């Protein structure tokens, strides 16, 4: 019964009040009748009960025992859920006993009312903690009291609840709490959950409200009467009218003169053939109406040309589409910069590239290292790809082949770690990282990864030992002439041929080898560059430091995510296709390739720009 819940709250809050028994006696008279739980008490509710209820509410509204919050005191959050609402109380305990800090209650939505009781009670715990976030966040521990016994097990780390409750439990991961069961008759939050304030919200809108919403949410149609009134005030059209009737054309309207044979006036509106000439004042409205539905540049030009005209209408349409934020965010990325081919190193094992391929179905990874001069490569199958494991693998390889001068790697955690950087510094190796999310910059090793993966797929399809087949592939690869250099990797790297199962006469003559390889490498690389640039339609970037850009969303959770992030960024520096940008909202610096960026056209401004922090950089 709701009266019993209400009295339970009053007794807890006003415990020790000198006239509490007198105030609550009229309500307790109804309880003595021992009516049913859902009985109608309207006939028993008289003036004295109403007076008592009103006085008790006034007493609760000026609680004398409501105390201040102290971070060091023991803290409890008591929560409860009823079929219609949630309630919670924040209590602290000290030497003098408990004191109430704050109350909270919430009405359930129509959807939440359909939850089962366990889900409602779980929701009450989650909502109450988030409601008292300012008191509980960062606290060493607090008790979360409920009168629903199953929640003690459900909120344990080892529990496996349903998906909805599991998501709620994840929301409480930033709090240190312990769920405690307490029977419902001792739960003072019960009354708050059963007596929520239910407001009747009038969802009807008057005509003025609807018109206001429509006027701000979509472009307004332009009527002929508006065009006529604007034409009478437009200086350009007024000069054109005088020129048509007097055949005297002013210098400022030469753009109209070349179409003088097509211009005429009809009921005060200037026409060019069967198209209306829009006054300057109304052109932005017409452009907005034409861009409704977000057509592209070509479609918008066609749409405008069928009905209206004014000087430079095509340029205005193109400018509006390029400046449209929605169109920009889902448009195609910038074209890539022309390729920059890497010069062939002076000798083997000067510049190498490293990368990890995987994980494979066996939870293993393949470590790949490639020499840029000879294309000689080595692979290692690893289960641990930490920085220490990577360093150990490189130490074993370098113990046989020596230290290279330079290592190219992506932005994997093991390659960007302090431990790996220190190792390279100790061994005199210069470490270079590729642009994040741009594996083409380390194309040599990425191409080798594709060949290795192909051989593993073949081995798995034939149900063979892929590790043994991978060794056969390495023998074949290092003894086969490369398509670019024309020489086998072993011949260039070790200055000798690998002896394999194919009979041959080993005749090691390397006269003019380097010059021959270098000329062939340069010619074929240039051919590949021209083909690649032509195929990708590569152009030099027009981005300059200070330009505003959007950044491509490289990780899409759902398909409706736009191609570009709406947060504006500023170009800080550029080196060809390698662009450094800074987020205008967070101040964080990023490094991206030109195709990951989209220049913001039109006017822009940045509000609430944070202070720049030199130490704010991206960690890929």
Q: What is the pLDDT of residues 539-562, one digit of tens each?
A: 888 888 988 989 988 887 787 888
Q: What is the mean pLDDT of residues 372-398?
A: 91
pLDDT tens digits along 319-363? 888 888 888 888 888 888 887 777 888 889 999 999 898 888 888
Please compute the mean of the pLDDT values over residues 296-305 and round it to a whole number: 87
Q: Which residues pair with 380 in a beta bridge?
A: 367
Q: Could you give the CA distance from residue 26 to residue 48 in angstroms, rounded to a whole number?
A: 6
Q: How many CB atoms lie within 10 A of CB 176?
A: 13
Count of helix runs (H) and strand runs (E) in the chain: 23, 19
Q: Report the pLDDT value the prediction gives residue 365, as an integer from 0 to 100.
A: 92
Q: What is the pLDDT of residue 422?
A: 93
pLDDT at 64: 61
Look at residue 1 in the predicted model and tell me its pLDDT.
59
Q: Which two tokens stand for residue 605?
A: 């401004």
Neighbours of 108 (CB within 10 A): 20
Which is more confident, 242 or 77?
77
Tell me what the pLDDT averaged over the chain comes to.
81
Task: At 431, give phi and psi (nearest 5°).
Answer: -105, 130
User: Which residue, chain included where needed, has tokens 């560059």?
Assistant: 529
Q: Which helix or strand (DSSP H or E) is residue 193 part of?
A: helix 190-194
pLDDT of residue 202: 45
Q: Give the pLDDT confidence score for residue 16 in this predicted structure.
A: 44
Rounded alpha-carbon distances, angstroms, from residue 573 to 146, 419, 452, 545, 579: 57, 28, 37, 5, 6
Q: Which residue has the higher pLDDT, 74 or 185?
A: 74
Q: Which domains can be identified in the chain, with CATH numbers?
A: 1-62 (no CATH), 74-194 (3.30.420.10), 207-329 (1.10.340.70), 351-494 (3.30.420.10), 547-599 (2.30.30)
Before 359, cis peptide (omega within 30)?
yes
Residue 423 pLDDT:
93
Q: Is 425 left (phi over 0), alpha (psi -120 to 50) or beta?
A: alpha
Share of residues in the chain with pLDDT > 70 (%): 86
Residue with tokens 């009979």: 503
Summarize pLDDT for 178-234 with one digit per residue, the tens: 999 888 766 666 655 555 554 444 444 444 444 443 344 345 677 888 888 888 888
The pLDDT of residue 203 is: 43
Q: What confidence tier does 453 reach under pLDDT thresholds 50, 70, 90? A: confident
Under DSSP, is residue 107 helix (H, G, I), strand (E, B) or coil? strand
Residue 17's pLDDT band (boundaries 50, 70, 90)?
low
What percentage of the chain reaches a pLDDT higher than 90? 16
* H or E stretch at 236: helix 235-246
pLDDT of residue 474: 87
pTM above 0.85, yes or no: no
Centroid of chain to Cα 128: 28
Query: Which residues lie below 8 Å from residue 41, measured CB to CB, with a gap of 6+?
Result: 3, 30, 35
Integer Cα distance of 487 and 56 in angstroms? 96
Tokens of 236: 């350009």
pLDDT over threshold 90, residue 14: no
Higher model confidence: residue 412 or residue 107?
A: 412
The residue that leads in pLDDT, 201 or 280, is 280
Asked whether residue 100 carries a pLDDT value surpassing 50, the answer given is yes
Residue given tokens 């590729």 in the structure block:
434
Enter the tokens of residue 437: 């999310």
125 vs 93: CA distance, rounded Å: 20
Alpha helices in 248-371 (DSSP H): 254-257, 283-290, 297-305, 313-323, 325-330
CB 600 within 8 A of CB 550: yes
* pLDDT band at residue 426 under the 50/70/90 scheme: very high
pLDDT in tens, 559-569: 788 888 888 99
pLDDT band at 619 (very low <50, low <70, confident <90, very high): very low
pLDDT value, residue 195: 54
> Lowest mean pLDDT: which of 167-181, 190-204, 248-262?
190-204
């Amino acid at each position: 019964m709701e009266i019993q819940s209400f009295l339970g709250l009053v007794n807890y809050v006003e415990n020790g009040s000198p006239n509490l028994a007198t105030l609550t006696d009229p309500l307790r008279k109804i309880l003595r009748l021992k009516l049913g739980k859902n009985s109608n008490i309207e006939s028993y509710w008289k003036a004295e009960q109403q007076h008592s209820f009103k006085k008790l509410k006034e007493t609760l509204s000026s609680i004398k025992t409501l105390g201040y919050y102290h971070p060091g005191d023991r803290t409890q959050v008591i929560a409860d859920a009823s079929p219609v609402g949630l309630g919670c109380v924040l209590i602290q305990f000290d030497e003098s006993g408990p004191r109430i800090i704050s109350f909270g209650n919430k009405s359930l939505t129509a959807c939440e009312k359909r939850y089962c009781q366990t889900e409602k009670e779980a929701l009450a715990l989650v909502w109450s903690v988030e409601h008292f976030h300012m008191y509980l966040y960062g606290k060493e521990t607090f008790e979360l009291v409920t009168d629903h016994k199953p929640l003690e097990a459900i909120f344990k780390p080892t529990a496996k609840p349903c998906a909805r409750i599991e998501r709620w439990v994840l929301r409480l991961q930033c709090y240190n709490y312990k769920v405690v069961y307490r029977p419902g008759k001792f739960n003072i939050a019960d009354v708050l959950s059963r007596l929520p304030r239910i407001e009747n919200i009038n969802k009807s809108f008057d005509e003025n409200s609807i018109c206001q919403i429509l006027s701000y949410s979509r472009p307004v149609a332009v009527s002929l009467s508006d065009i006529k009134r604007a034409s009478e005030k437009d200086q350009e059209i007024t000069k054109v009218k005088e020129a048509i009737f007097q055949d005297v054309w002013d210098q400022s309207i030469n753009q109209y003169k070349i179409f003088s044979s097509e211009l005429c006036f009809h009921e005060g509106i200037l026409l060019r053939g069967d198209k209306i000439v829009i006054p300057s004042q109304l052109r932005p409205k017409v452009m907005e109406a034409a861009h409704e539905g977000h057509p592209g540049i070509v479609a918008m030009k066609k749409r405008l040309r069928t009905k209206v005209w004014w000087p430079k209408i095509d340029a205005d349409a193109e400018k509006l589409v390029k400046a449209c934020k929605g169109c920009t965010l889902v448009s195609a990325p910038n074209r890539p910069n022309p390729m920059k081919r890497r010069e062939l190193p002076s000798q083997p094992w000067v510049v190498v590239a490293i990368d990890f391929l995987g994980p494979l179905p066996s939870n293993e990874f393949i470590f790949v290292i490639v020499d840029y001069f000879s294309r000689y490569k080595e692979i290692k199958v690893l289960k641990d790809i930490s920085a220490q494991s990577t360093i150990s693998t490189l130490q074993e390889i370098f113990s046989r082949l020596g230290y290279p001068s330079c290592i190219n790697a992506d932005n994997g955690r093991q390659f960007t770690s302090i431990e790996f950087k220190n190792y390279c510094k100790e061994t005199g190796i210069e470490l270079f990282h590729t642009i994040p999310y741009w594996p083409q910059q380390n194309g040599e090793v990425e191409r080798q990864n594709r060949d290795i993966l192909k051989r593993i797929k073949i081995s798995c399809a034939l149900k063979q030992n892929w590790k043994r087949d991978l060794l056969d592939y390495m023998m074949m690869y290092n003894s086969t002439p490369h398509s670019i250099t024309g020489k086998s990797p072993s011949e260039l790297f070790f200055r000798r041929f690998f002896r394999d199962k194919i009979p041959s006469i080993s005749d090691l003559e390397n006269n003019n080898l380097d010059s021959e390889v270098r000329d062939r490498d340069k010619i074929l690389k240039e051919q590949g560059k021209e083909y690649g640039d032509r195929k990708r339609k590569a152009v030099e970037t027009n981005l300059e430091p200070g330009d505003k850009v959007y950044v491509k969303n490289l990780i899409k959770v759902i398909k409706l995510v736009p191609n570009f992030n709406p947060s504006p960024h500023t170009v800080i520096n550029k080196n060809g296709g390698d662009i450094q940008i800074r987020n205008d909202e967070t101040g964080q610096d990023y490094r991206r390739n030109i195709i990951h960026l989209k220049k913001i056209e039109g006017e822009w401004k940045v509000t609430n720009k944070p202070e720049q922090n030199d130490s704010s950089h991206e960690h890929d």
